[in-house]
Structure 1
Amino acid sequence: MQSPQASRPLAGILWMALTGVMFVAVTAVVKHVGDGVPAAQAAFLRYVLGLVFLIPMIRPIVAARLTGRQIRLFGLRGAVHTLAVILWFFAMARIPIAEVTAMNYLSPVYITIGAALFMGERLPPRRLAAVIVALIGALIILRPGMKAIEIGHIAMLGTALFFAAGYLIAKQLSGEVSAAVVVGMLSITVTIGLSPFAWAVWVTPTLPQLGWLFLVACFATAGHYTMTLAFAAAPLTVTQPVTFLQLVWAVILGAVVFGEPVDGWVVLGGAVILGSVTFITWREAVARRSVTPVVSATKV
């Protein structure tokens, strides 16, 4: 836990705000590519083109001398993250950016539930109430019976669930190996996991499409880096609420660039979910636990 002297709240807020810009830029570029490249292939190319950023992590991975159990866990994490990424790319081409962003806020809620079910974490009444409130936020966004629930919405529910499963596995491994190994092994296993899906739907991409997908890799890598700087500067209780700005940027971007209508219910639902996640994070800080991640930690 960070000491008060080491905490730099303003720096943490600024870095997290920049993180939000980076991840919204990722969604914008993927939205721009759209169905021009199949979802599985687009996801595969994003990871293949991003392997250049893996070079500094090769030495720590080799030096880690991973056990058979650790390799199996990394493989399992890669498998669930692969499914999450495919579903995310699929949803991005079918529903508005704001809805994708708001529904991704559910991942930390799933993580809280998963930690209680599979890791023995306690789920006291106040945290349980916060989880229920977050699920109500999801219902506000989806509004079943009031508007059509599209396949993209179903894909995003799966995306958040698989990202949460991957994070819980990473949580187990983070106490055993360095962060560089965790990140590097994720890139390797997801690239391998995506390859057969990409092969099955392969179409020859154009040079501009390759350029856009490399830009996705650049923005995603930059986002994870600035998020790390935010974590180092200030505690989660300070940086978590700033992630709401991602939804603001997404709404503006969707309306201005892609002509998507501004849906106040989506903004309200996203605010309800994020408020719940922020409360859970605060309760964990009070109890000196660290299970629930910042929203941006569950990203492509």
Structure 2
Amino acid sequence: MIVSGLCFVGVTVTVKLLHGRVPAAESAFLRYLLGLVYLIPMWKALTGLRMTRRQWRLSALRGGAQTLGVICWFFAMSRIPLAEVTAMNYLTPIYVTVMAVFVLGERLAVRRILAIVAALGGALLILRPGFRELDPGHFAMLATSMMFAISYLIAKIITDELSPAIALALLSISVTLGLFPFALAVWVWPSWSDLAILMATATFATGGHYAMVLAFARAPVTVTQPVTFLQLVWSIIIGALFFAEPVDPYVVAGGLVIIGSVLFITLREAMLKRRVTPSGPETKF
């Protein structure tokens, strides 16, 4: 999980290195397009796949939600500090918990409601509306977390019928196709160095997901969950050292409040053996 977290921070760092030279939609498209090389070993399984109409619809809906989320995430990365992107991304499990009530029929106990309220308070602490000028990147991150939550909930449904590996491969393909028209609308020819950065982004993302799967297979969520929050620490350190981003105590405090809320919900669901909330950033990229 430590390696996984470092890989996901590597994703954010490499995107930040683009400095907006490549539009957000195009950056996202190229990241997914270059990442398709890692699906080559699965080609036989994909060509022999037979899916029902319902599975196709769910996969398409998931791809659409992930597409919008990824565009918003790449846009936010070009606008706001690393620490704020990382902290606000932890809202995804909170959105999942709320949506699960309407989509999966989950029931919200009082403790979980209080944890959700606390997490939203943490988000307000980060954003501080009325006390500072909000950037469009902040609103983009709110949309990112929402879209990733929708993607995760659909994944929970579809992986009951398809293997996680196939579901992930279908997501990569559908997002690549979904991003293509958005990328075409703002296309600029990237330099070779920018392409190398985006290839590194794809590699970090694939490595992060693979390391996470290994961790989940070998340890319970109560062990893996706390480690995911080291990403906030890495983001703060890297943002300060390499991008001259000042450490904002409100962002740190708000991030810790959200982290505490997510941790409480996850541990509570693990004890009840009915966990729906994702254990951190497994909905990303």
CA distance in 2, matches of 1:73, 1:242: 31
Number of aligned pairs?
Answer: 285
| 1:17-37 CA distance string (max 9 Å, x none) | 111111111101100102100
CA distance in 2, matches of 1:206, 1:200: 18
Task: Tell me by how many angstroms 1:236 deviates.
Answer: 1.1
Secondary structure, aligned partner of 2:229: helix
Secondary structure, aligned partner of 1:268: helix
Task: Tell me by how many angstroms 1:185 deviates.
Answer: 0.2
Partner amino acid for 1:266? V
Task: Tell me by how many angstroms 1:145 deviates.
Answer: 1.2
1:45 pairs with 2:43? no
Look up the match of 2:138. 153
Q: TM-score, normalised by structure 2?
A: 0.98
Partner amino acid for 1:143? R
Look up the match of 2:169. 184
CA distance in 2, matches of 1:272, 1:56: 41
Partner amino acid for 1:288? K
Look up the match of 1:240. 225
Equivalent in 13, 18, 23 of residue 8 of structure 2? 23
Partner amino acid for 2:205? A
CA distance in 1, matches of 2:266, 2:44: 34
Structure 2 counterparts to residues 136-285 of structure 1, below 5 A: 136-285=121-270
Residue range with higher mean Cα deviation, 233-242 or 52-61: 52-61
Q: TM-score, normalised by structure 1?
A: 0.93
CA distance in 2, matches of 1:193, 1:58: 20
CA distance in 2, matches of 1:62, 1:281: 37
CA distance in 2, matches of 1:57, 1:139: 43
**For structure 1, which runs of at least 5 residues remain unmatched after alignment?**
1-15
Equivalent in 52, 62, 76 of residue 61 of structure 2? 76
**Any conservation in 2 of the 1:30–1:92 contact (CA below 8 Å)?**
yes
Identity %: 58
**Any conservation in 1 of the 2:229–2:280 contact (CA below 8 Å)?**
no
Task: Tell me by how many angstroms 1:244 deviates.
Answer: 1.6
CA distance in 2, matches of 1:209, 1:234: 37
| 1:217-240 CA distance string (max 9 Å, x none) | 000000001111111121112111
Structure 2 counterparts to residues 8-157 of structure 1, below 5 A: 16-157=1-142
| 1:182-239 CA distance string (max 9 Å, x none) | 1000000000000000000000111111010000000000000111111112111211
Partner amino acid for 1:18? V
| Consecutive aligned runs of 4 or more in structure 1 exceeding 3 Å deviation | none
CA distance in 1, matches of 2:44, 2:19: 36
CA distance in 1, matches of 2:224, 2:201: 24
